[in-house]
Structure 1
Amino acid sequence: MTTKLLKLANIDPSTLDERCVILSEGCPTCIPGETSFTTQVVRLNSEKEDAPPMSAVAN
């Protein structure tokens, strides 16, 4: 489904890497009957070489 959303948004999946986050307000599977979804790709900055990795906690 992700590849389909990217293609509909004219985003080439081959240009994305592990720093990319894909945001969409929905998809055809979760909102049946809807045909238009806002989709964005955000590329996060790479970590600095000197910086130690940061841990994250999710609740």
Structure 2
Amino acid sequence: MTTKLLKLAKIDPSSLDERCVILSEGCPNCVPDETTFTTQVIRLNREKDERSSLPAVAN
């Protein structure tokens, strides 16, 4: 199901690695009546050359 969501969102699964988190507001299996889902990919770590200190924010 994850691959299907990524393809629907036009996200190439081969561009993701172990640092990526996939967030989706539902899926066709858990919400069969819905036809669209917001899907995001968040990369948790930056590449070594791009690292900088960023403040942590929690809600």
Structure 1 length normalisation: TM-score? 0.75
Count residues in correspondence. Answer: 47
- CA distance in 1: counterparts of 2:14 and 2:28, whole angstroms: 22
- CA distance in 1: counterparts of 2:45 and 2:16, whole angstroms: 13
- CA distance in 2: counterparts of 1:42 and 1:25, whole angstroms: 14
% identical equivalent positions: 83
Indicate the RMSD between aligned Cα atoms, in angstroms: 1.3
What is residue 3 of structure 2 aligned with on the other side? Answer: 3
Residue segments in structure 2 that go unaligned for 5+ positions in a row: 49-59
What is residue 29 of structure 1 aligned with on the other side? Answer: 29
Which structure's residues are more often helix, by fraction? 2
Larger radius of gyration: 1
Structure 2 length normalisation: TM-score? 0.75
Moved over 2 A (4+): none
What is residue 44 of structure 2 aligned with on the other side? Answer: 44
> Deviation string for 1:3-59 (max 9, x for gaps)?
00000000000000000000000000000121000000000015x8xxxxxxxxxxx
